[in-house]
Amino acid sequence: MRAFLILLFVVYSTTTYAQPKRLLLLGDSLSAAYNMQEQQGWVYLVQQWLDTEQVPLTIINASISGETSAGGLARLPALLEQHQPHYVLIELGGNDGLRGFAIPQLEHNLSQLIALSQDAGAQALLMQIRIPPNLGPRYTRQFEALYPTLAERYQLPLWPFFMEQIALDDDLMLPDGIHPNREAQPLIKQQMKLWFARLVGE
């Protein structure tokens, strides 16, 4: 009887209090609550929703304003060792594109980010990034086509760019025309929360 009770306790503990999976979000200012408090940003709001709905997922937000793909690549090994995530969501490249960095270099950096994540045993996830057409249609096409190309090459989920509709509404953007304001954050949360929940449910 004692052995049965111990076994029942172990089963109950592992099913009821299962440790949440960890998702490392490697992004830039769009995910770093730029120009606002962390608690107002969409990542924090999504985590609140996940906790309320008891979705077993913890988002580790390693996003930094101004981050490039090269900067993310330099930081990733230490982040992987520290957090040992189950997933790595790569939301990088926007600053590369705004600065007109060479597409082959961006492709190399993103490929390395994916490979490092996979080598660490994490599932890599890639977010589509879009940029203003300031550098001309040819560069913009090459830049934006890179993400589905990499997703297909590495057989990764390609998550939609959460700014695609937000950026069209001036009332949801900061005066710089690049960053979402506070009012946009709950709308981004509504877009993204189901992607995170679906990830755990797969």
**Residues 102-151: tens digit of each pLDDT:** 999 999 999 999 999 999 999 999 999 999 999 999 999 999 999 999 99
Kindly report the pTM of this predicted structure. Answer: 0.90
Distances (CA, A) of 45 to 77, 95, 129, 187: 27, 24, 21, 10
Could you say which of 63, 96, 117, 179 is catalytic? Answer: 179
Is 29 a residue of the active site? yes
Is 69 a residue of the active site? no
Could you say which of 28, 29, 31, 96 is catalytic? Answer: 29
Q: Residue 180 carries which DSSP code?
A: B
Mean pLDDT across the chain, nearest whole number?
92
Between residues 1 and 184, which one has the greater pLDDT?
184
Is 179 a residue of the active site? yes
Distances (CA, A) of 178 to 98, 133, 153, 162: 10, 12, 29, 13
Per CATH, which fold does 20-201 belong to? Answer: Rossmann fold (3.40.50)
Q: Count the residues in the chain.
A: 202
| Predicted confidence (pLDDT) at residue 7 exceeds the cutoff of 80 | no
| Predicted confidence (pLDDT) at residue 169 exceeds the cutoff of 70 | yes
Tens of pLDDT, residue by residue over 52-89, are: 999 999 999 999 999 999 999 999 999 999 999 999 99
